[in-house]
Amino acid sequence: MKVSRNGSRQTIAALVEDRPGVLTRVASLFRRRGYNIESLAVGTTDEQGVSRMTIVVEGTSEVGDQVAKQLDKLIDVINAAVLDSTESIERELALIKVMARPDQRREILDVVEIFRASVVDLSVSSLIIQITAANETIEALTDNLRPYGILEMVRTGAIALVRGEDTTQVVEFEDDELRRFHMESGRIPTGQLPHLSD
């Protein structure tokens, strides 16, 4: 099973402009500076034009700080910060396909229940189990399922939010043209391009 090499991992949350190339910029930074990404999850936020990345990296808290500062340096990153694990909630979704002969199902279902996971697919000789939990819990569940034979599994990577009412405020654009530039720039315009000679 995959365990961080030195046992320590840092979770970084970044609000980024939803623009072409943002993911490349972030990925390129990690490659260039030699940071090891354990997981990276990207999704929209309730703010139009702003996405949120949750990045888990292997390394000490100094590494986490450097990663956050280097990310923050990217113009398309609005804000990046290392999350304090005690001050934040972190969750990950995993789907695990496990071998399950009919006579083993009961046992496996007990494990599923203990971990508050659920079964989302059943076939003659296998089950797909879904779990939403913190990283360690998912690792523990997979450890418990391994004896039955894990056929396949997929994880979304962690997502996280800081507890309490504090949020990162994102500056809004004053005028519509500016907003359009920010959201559309770098994208091929939709619809027919004007016919211009090349």
Partner 1 sequence: MSKISGADIVLRCLQELGVDTLFGYPGGVVLPLYDRFPQYPDINHILVRHEQAAGHAADGYARASGKLGVALATSGPGATNLVTAITNAHMDSVPTLFITGNVTRSLLGKDGFQEADITGITMPTVKHNYLVMRPDDLAYAFKEAAYIATTGRPGAVHIDIPKDVFIEEAEFSWPETINVRGYNPPSTAEQDSIQQAAEIIDQSERPLIFAGHGIILSDAADDLRKFAEKSGTPVVNTLLGLGSIAPDHVLSYGMMGMHGSYWANHAASNADVIIGLGMRMDDRALGRFEDMNPTAKIIHVDIDPAEHQKNLETHVPIVGNVCDVLKQLTNTVQKATHPDWLSWIDDLRIGHRASMSVPEGPELTAQYAIARIADYIGTESVLCTGVGQHQMWSAQFGAISRPRQFITSGGLGTMGFEVPAAMGAQAACPDRSVWTICGDGGFQMTFQEIGTMVDAKLPVRMAIMNNCYLGMVRQWQELFYDQNLVDVDISQPDFLKIAEAYGIKGIRVDNQEDVDAAIEEAEATEGPVLIDFRVVRQDNVWPMVPAGAALSETIESAEESGMS
In the complex, least distance from residue 194 CB atom to partner 1, rounded to whole angstroms = 5
Q: How far is the CB of 68 from partner 1 (least distance, A)?
A: 9
Q: Residue 36 CB, nearest distance to partner 1 (Å)?
A: 18
CB atoms within 10 A of CB 65: 15
Please give the single-letter amino acid code of residue 153: M
Residues in the chain: 198
Which residues contact partner 1 by CB under 8 A?
A: 16-17, 20-21, 24-25, 28-29, 32, 62, 65-66, 69-70, 72-79, 170-171, 173-175, 177-178, 181-182, 184-189, 193-194, 196-198
For the bound state, the minimum distance from the C-beta of residue 41 to partner 1, rounded and expressed in Å, comes to: 20
* Strand partners of residue 130: 95, 118
Closest CB 50 distance from partner 1, rounded Å: 9
Compare residues 73 and 101 and give the one whose CB is closer to partner 1.
73
Residue 80 identity (one-letter amino acid): A
Crossing angle of the two packed helices 22-33 and 61-73, in degrees rounded to 10:
140
Q: In the 3-class helix/strand/coil scheme, how is 120-131 assigned residue by residue?
A: EEECCCEEEEEE
102 vs 194 by CB, closer to partner 1? 194
Nearer to partner 1, 32 or 106 (CB): 32
Closest approach of Cβ 83 to partner 1, in Å? 18
Quick one: 25 or 91, whose CB is closer to partner 1?
Answer: 25
In the three-class reduction of DSSP (H, G, I as helix; E, B as strand; rest coil), residue 72 is classed as: helix
Name the nearest CA neighbour of 118 among 108, 126, 92. Answer: 108
Comparison of 68 and 94: residue with beta carbon closer to partner 1: 68
Q: Closer to partner 1 by CB, 73 or 163: give it.
A: 73
How many other CB atoms are found less than 10 A from the CB of residue 43? 10
Quote the tokens at residue 41.
């999850």
Question: What stretch of H or E contains 62?
Answer: helix 61-73
Answer yes or no: are the C-beta atoms of 71 and 15 closer than 8 Å: no
